Structure 1
């Protein structure tokens, strides 16, 4: 079996890929990369740039295959290891929701949160020029999607919950999303999963200690 290697930093979006790997349940290795000198290998080192020319994490190698971008890694692993049951059956209502919200999280949610964090203001006149429309519209949409539902796609947990849910978890943790009951209940349910807890413990233990 081809080896899975995750290139990540314990204080990055790579935590999402680690969670997904724990859900898959296959053996994998981890190469931690530093923003600076905190780890032996830097994200800007030639060896890593040969894997991801963007010089960012996460990246996943699976034999000769290279996958970057958190949502793509989640989708790839769900496809590569179908026995884990992390993807709905093709052509179903659940599959439609799976793709819809996985890509929505990687596109409009990510862009809306980033713009807001950077102080970028989109005026109502310009809202149709950006994929997310407005920050408030994004928050309303995801709250409506998860209210009264434990999972985002059908009746079972999927890779879409890993990525979509992580965006909500980070948003609540760092204050980039408002505290709304629907968001909080959805995230609290996901964060009780054993695979999430294992991944978080492993990454927390790898964070360099400061003197």
Structure 2
């Protein structure tokens, strides 16, 4: 089955690269430039949003990081990254928490927007402090976000924690630090980071 990965090494594509390395299946990589090929007709036919990452698997297009990670986990079950019955509730809860409330809260904070009391009722994340606290509590409960085992949800949540703490958008608490140490020790994470770092060094 053909699997093509569209990305830029300085984008959320790094998350999907990690996921692809975790599943261990062969894939082709197409690196896009923000100013040109990402806006071109060929890629717009794949993702009209003109954003990366995206994958095309046997002619089927999947965009959005959380959707791609969930799709790959379910499509390649031998990798063991989809949830068990006991993990399913936490898996989906935190996978979509990372894609929804967490990213919205961090994006707004980074842009200098703080919702007032009325706006907090409208915003799905309420306020940044609440969102960050809920995530910190979740990470402290178990070694991994859905329980005692690494799943695809950790690729999304862990990537968010890694980026946001690196840039000072999320406090680097002991719980977050310990969580990231577990994730960053994974060979697939290290392979993915090396591939993307090499692409950056090569000017891609």
Which TM-score band applies after superposition, normalised by the shorter structure? over 0.9
Contact kept? 1:75, 1:159, Cα under 8 Å: yes
Corresponding residue for residue 35 of structure 1:
34
Question: For the residues of structure 1 that align with 2:150 and 2:172, how far apart are their CA atoms?
Answer: 23
- Aligned pair count? 203
What are the residue-to-residue correspondences of 1:83-122 with 2, within 5 Å? Answer: 83-89=78-84, 92-122=85-115
Contact kept? 1:149, 1:186, Cα under 8 Å: no
Contact kept? 2:94, 2:153, Cα under 8 Å: yes
The answer to whether residue 200 in structure 2 is matched with residue 203 in structure 1 is: no
Instruction: Determine helix, strand or coil for the equivalent of 2:114.
Output: coil
Question: For the residues of structure 1 that align with 2:118 and 2:169, how far apart are their CA atoms?
Answer: 24
Q: Which moved more, 1:178-187 or 1:133-142?
A: 178-187
Instruction: Determine helix, strand or coil for the equivalent of 1:75.
Output: helix
Question: For the residues of structure 1 that align with 2:137 and 2:117, how far apart are their CA atoms?
Answer: 22
What are the residue-to-residue correspondences of 1:13-162 with 2, within 5 Å? Answer: 13-36=12-35, 42-89=37-84, 92-162=85-155
- TM score, norm. by length of structure 2: 0.96
Q: Which moved more, 1:123-132 or 1:48-57?
A: 123-132
Task: Return the offset for 1:44.
Answer: 0.2
Structure 2 residues not aligned, in runs of 5+:
none
The RMSD of aligned alpha carbons is 1.2
Question: For the residues of structure 2 that align with 1:123 and 1:132, how far apart are their CA atoms?
Answer: 13
More helix by share: 2
Structure 1 residues not aligned, in runs of 5+:
none
- TM score, norm. by length of structure 1: 0.93
What are the residue-to-residue correspondences of 1:160-179 with 2, within 5 Å? Answer: 160-179=153-172
Large movers: runs of 4+ above 3 Å? none
Task: Return the offset for 1:29.
Answer: 0.7
Task: Return the offset for 1:208.
Answer: 4.8
Instruction: Determine helix, strand or coil for the equivalent of 1:147.
Output: helix
